[in-house]
Amino acid sequence: MTSELKATTKYRRFIPKLIYGVDILGMKRILIEEITKYIGEKVKICGWVDSRRDHGKIIFIDLRDVSGLAQIVFAPNQRAEIYKVAQKLRTEWVIEVTGRVDRRPKGMENPKITTGKVEIGAENLTIFSEAKTLPFETSDERKEVSEEIRLKYRYLDLRRKKMKENLTWRYKVIDFMRNFLKNRGFIEIETPILTKSTPEGARDFIVPSRLQPGKFYALPQSPQQYKQLLMVAGFEKYFQIARCFRDEDPRADRQAEFTQLDIEMAFVEQDDILSLTEELYSELVKELFPQKTITQKPFPRISFEEAMERYKTDKPDLRRDKSNPDELAFGFVVNFPMFEWRKEEGRWDAVHHPFTRPNFENLGGQARPLSENIKEMKKNPDKILAFQYDFILNGFEIGGGSLRTYKPEILEAVFEVMGHKKEDIQKKFGHLLKAFEYGAPPHGGIAPGIDRFMAILMQEPNIREVIAFPKTGDNRDLMMEAPSEVDEKQLKELRIGITKN
């Protein structure tokens, strides 16, 4: 006997009853949606009691698993001991049932469910766990439940059919995106969550370091600098389903943490990125949501100036019929200004972010010496456009991107226009400037948001309906009761003191 087999035999008594759905005694658990294949045969299914009905002495249980519903019949004249246990069953108890799959009596079929022509006569019953009375009904989608209660008991809210559908479609969308990019030579690379705090437009969430007292990490507002460094590293085609964090005031279509499809490419022009994005979303809609129609193809490209003059917004709703929820009006807004004046701060700021490449063409073209373009940018920031673009859908911005600055002297000049001193630029961004000195290719990318896109597709009023565990409007997690206080010992280890008003 090999050492591997000995080890397996030695620890076999510790193996739980079910291993990947296979019973040690030989009976395999199947999903409820599969029971129609086993008419006349014995099967084992597991799940939650969705509802209970007593017709005389016969007990009917609708059992629910991830795939659907099945009707289970408990009759006293078949298995008296099983029937006695079944009398105790209540909604949301978790059970296992073994029994034969039979056709339902004629006229008793349920066309509303895929298993509506069959039922299972229970022969064995195991109760895994009981459930207290739920704070709200999960099987009745029509009942209004306050969002606060839903978020407090989110694990129950996620039992609702609509929420399961939303998250299942979210998975399908992300899976399609991954496969689309993989088939076009992109490589998925994870980037750090603990990083350096740098001014990128929004407030950072900061994380204290225990091993370097008095110093802090920041959670990434986006993988912006890392993906540019990957271009310097020569990967050329990168993507990531990226988690991002911004300490901003929340809205219905924004959360403190969110997910985006992060794409970056080397040796590309703006048209390459917009065309790839259009191809991705056109094919996604065609494959996954064929009932929806795209208003216009190619996706229209509107200048920022035209959008503001014509629509009074930089994210216009381009649908022909705004009352039709299955119409998808994609578009791009291009040629944004590079800088905007922050009156309250008395300084210039980047409209997108400082890593966006300035477009010097309206100053006389790229043929002019770079030093002259930089000098003009410092002198007249309001005249500089940017290679920046927003991706819009039905009146929402669902993504943004730009060609990136890859010349260190331009990036340094942009920070100077924004009011940063040279020593501060080196302190905060010296790592990126140094990397650009070792052969940086022209590059650019785009980062469409997953949450907002899914909310539009699923016709939901806010992104909380398409996120498994979202925060409230004021960034609280009611289920986990976060944010929360930490004990004094943790604060002492981090050498942090709390100042109370």
pLDDT tens sequence across 471-500: 998 899 999 999 999 999 999 999 998 888
CA atoms within 13 A on the CB side of 370: 9
Is a pLDDT exceeding 70 seen at residue 6? no
CA atoms within 13 A on the CB side of 408: 17
Structural domains in the chain, CATH included, are 15-129 (2.40.50.140), 157-488 (3.30.930.10)
| Type of residue found at 498 | I
- Maximum distance among all alpha carbons in the chain? 95
364 torsion bin: left (phi>0), alpha (psi -120 to 50), beta (else): left
Separation of alpha carbons 198 and 402, rounded Å: 19
pLDDT tens, residue by residue, 365-417: 557 888 999 999 999 999 999 999 999 999 999 999 999 999 999 999 999 99
pLDDT range class, residue 13, cuts 50, 70, 90: very low
pTM of structure: 0.90
Element (H, E) at 423: helix 422-435
CB 170 within 8 A of CB 454: yes
Q: What is the mean pLDDT of the chain?
A: 91
